[in-house]
């Protein structure tokens, strides 16, 4: 009885192993392959297209086409699939059905259609919104998606990528920054913030203090447009548009990051839509010590955009942007050997109220009231240097020329204007590899 039971158990195990092996072999054979080619409407191959194999709405595998536009999915279980293809400049292919049988290979060809051309609305050339394709001028538009992708603190770093603009920054973070459009002077640029003139008298504008926070779009018109914007629009028109609230539920964001030289940036924004009222506010706090003594820079910027849709034809919008900056000026540190304790501060405020009414399809009324307030102060509270004869001297320094010759000297530091005319430079020694030794001869 024991032997019969043992034989039955052994036969049952063998049968189970045999059935399992058959199932494994059957599953191994129940696969196939999917291969194909991606082409454009003219039949040319599309290399680098991202091809995804979907089943029941889930991605099973992803690959890219080779240089000949071919793709392949080997060893795919049998079943029904969809092939989704995406490539830059083409419309996404929603999905091509594939029925894969055991041991078979499905061959498909996917034809991608040309994607829709993205149109940007610009106003810098005509004073009213027009598609970029209808504007016969050299206009570059940087929208919010590009601004987010570049992710720069200062707007002039974004404008470096605009053709025809040369951005020049003096010194470190916060140093004077100018833009030269097509070789024109730095004060030939008309800068508008939500339609508010932002230039100082004479056309100058400090781009170092213009942060990218709260900015939705930047338009750059390369060329003169004094007919619409006045005589100071000689080289370009740079128009900055702030963001608006767009979601029914309020959105609050906060970001912070830091780095070397005690650098810290904090950015907080709040926006949304409530009935006929939209609102958006953004606040930036940035500070850094820079790499030189007494060159600390900080920037506090507030940007607000508030709109009210009174009816289908009339809307009211109020915008505000306030910037407060402070910068330590070490001045001629390499020349004097010691930094100044000077500093400069700026307080800039731009306010704008705009009312628009679309009376008919051919007639629109627009009234805008703006205010621009610019404040700048420069202070040098103390005499800096080594006291000498009632004046102050800088540290001994060496200035070397391009030919490796140099000179050692000390110069009068923070010398009053009344004494500059009587200061003499006395040299000693012969010109050699290190140059002469120069000492200032101060009046008694």
Dihedral sign from CA coordinates of 386, 388, 391, 396: negative
Q: Is 347 exposed, middle or buried (0-12, 13-18, 19+ CB in 10 A)?
A: middle
In percent, the amount of the chain with pLDDT more than 70 equals 79
Q: Say whether pLDDT at 276 is over 60.
A: yes
* Range with the largest mean pLDDT of 110-124, 279-293, 359-373, 410-424: 279-293
Question: What average pLDDT does range 239-244 have in this prediction?
Answer: 93
Position 336 scores a pLDDT of 77
Position 395 scores a pLDDT of 79
Query: Where residue 127 falls among pLDDT bands split at 50, 70, 90?
Result: low
- Between CA 341 and CA 380 the distance in angstroms is 6
CA distance to 232, 341, 344, 427, per residue, from 414 (Å): 36, 11, 17, 21
Query: Where residue 3 falls among pLDDT bands split at 50, 70, 90?
Result: very low
Position 331 scores a pLDDT of 83
HSE-up (13 A, CA, CB side) for residue 196: 24
Q: State the DSSP code for 92.
A: P
Query: Where residue 216 falls among pLDDT bands split at 50, 70, 90?
Result: very high
Pairing of strands 263-274, 251-259: antiparallel
CA distance to 382, 417, 420, 428, 441, per residue, from 423 (Å): 21, 11, 5, 17, 6
Query: Where residue 355 falls among pLDDT bands split at 50, 70, 90?
Result: very high
Position 300 scores a pLDDT of 97
Residue 128 CB neighbour total at 10 angstroms? 10
Q: Say whether pLDDT at 119 is over 60.
A: no
CA distance to 117, 182, 324, per residue, from 86 (Å): 16, 38, 46
- Please name the residues in contact with 381: beta carbons below 8 A apart, sequence gap of 6 or more: 341, 342
DSSP state string for 104-131: -EEEEEEEPPBPPPPP-EE-TTTSS-EE
Query: Where residue 430 falls among pLDDT bands split at 50, 70, 90?
Result: very low
The residue assigned the tokens 């050299």 is 138
Question: What average pLDDT does range 400-419 have in this prediction?
Answer: 62
Reported as a single tens digit per residue, the pLDDT across 379-400 is 888 778 777 776 777 777 777 7
Write down the mean pLDDT value for the chain.
81
CB 50 within 8 A of CB 62: yes
Give the phi and the psi of residue 410 in degrees, each rounded to 5: -135, 135
Position 373 scores a pLDDT of 95
Q: Name the nearest CA neighbour of 54 among 100, 115, 7.
A: 100
Pairing of strands 31-39, 105-111: parallel
Give the phi and the psi of residue 166 in degrees, each rounded to 5: -115, 115
In percent, the amount of the chain with pLDDT more than 90 equals 40
CA distance to 13, 30, 97, per residue, from 16 (Å): 5, 21, 38
* Range with the largest mean pLDDT of 79-83, 126-130, 145-149, 275-279: 275-279
Q: Say whether pLDDT at 372 is over 80.
A: yes
Query: Where residue 297 falls among pLDDT bands split at 50, 70, 90?
Result: very high
Q: Is 183 helix (H, G, I), strand (E, B) or coil?
A: coil
Provide the β-strand partners of residue 301: 284, 323
Candidate from 23-37, 51-65, 176-190 with smallest mean pLDDT:
23-37
């Amino acid at each position: 009885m024991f032997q019969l039971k043992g034989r039955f158990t052994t036969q049952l195990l063998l049968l189970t192993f045999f059935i399992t092996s058959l199932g494994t072999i059957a599953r191994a054979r129940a696969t196939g392959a999917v291969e194909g080619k991606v082409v454009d409407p003219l039949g040319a191959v599309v290399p680098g297209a991202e091809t995804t194999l979907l089943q029941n709405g889930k991605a099973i595998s992803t690959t890219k086409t080779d240089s000949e536009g071919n793709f392949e999915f080997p060893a795919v279980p049998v079943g029904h699939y969809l092939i989704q293809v995406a490539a830059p400049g083409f419309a996404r292919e929603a999905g091509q059905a594939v029925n894969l049988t055991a041991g078979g290979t499905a061959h498909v060809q996917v034809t991608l259609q040309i994607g829709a051309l993205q149109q940007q609305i610009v106003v810098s050339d005509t004073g009213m919104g027009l598609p970029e394709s209808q504007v016969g001028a050299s206009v570059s538009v940087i929208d919010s998606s590009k601004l987010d992708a570049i992710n720069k603190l200062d707007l002039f770093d974004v404008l470096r990528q605009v053709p025809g603009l040369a951005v020049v920054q003096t010194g470190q973070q916060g140093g004077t920054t100018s833009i030269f459009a097509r070789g024109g002077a730095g004060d030939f640029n008309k800068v508008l913030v939500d339609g508010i003139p932002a230039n100082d008298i004479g056309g100058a504008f400090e781009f170092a203090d213009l942060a990218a926070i709260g900015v939705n779009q930047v338009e750059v018109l390369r060329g003169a447009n004094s007919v619409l914007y006045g005589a100071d629009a000689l080289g370009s028109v740079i128009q900055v548009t702030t963001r608006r609230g767009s979601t029914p539920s309020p959105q609050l964001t906060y970001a912070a990051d830091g780095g070397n030289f005690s650098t810290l940036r904090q950015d907080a924004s709040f926006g949304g839509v409530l009935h006929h009222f939209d609102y958006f506010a953004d606040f930036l706090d940035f500070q850094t010590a820079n790499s030189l003594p007494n060159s600390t820079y900080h920037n506090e910027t507030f940007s607000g955009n508030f709109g009210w849709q009174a009816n289908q034809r009339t809307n009211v919008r109020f915008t505000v942007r306030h910037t407060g900056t402070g910068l330590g000026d070490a001045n001629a540190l390499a020349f004097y050997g010691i930094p100044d304790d000077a500093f400069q501060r700026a307080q800039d405020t731009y306010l704008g109220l705009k009312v628009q009414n679309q009376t008919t399809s051919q007639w629109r009324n627009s009234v805008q009231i703006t205010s621009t307030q610019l404040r700048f102060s420069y202070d040098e509270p103390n005499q800096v240097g080594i006291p000498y004869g009632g004046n102050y001297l800088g540290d001994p320094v060496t200035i070397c020329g391009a030919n490796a010759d140099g000179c050692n000297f000390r110069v009068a530091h923070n010398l009053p204007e009344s004494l500059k005319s009587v200061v003499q430079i006395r040299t000693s020694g012969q010109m050699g590899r290190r140059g002469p030794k120069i000492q200032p001869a101060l009046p008694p």
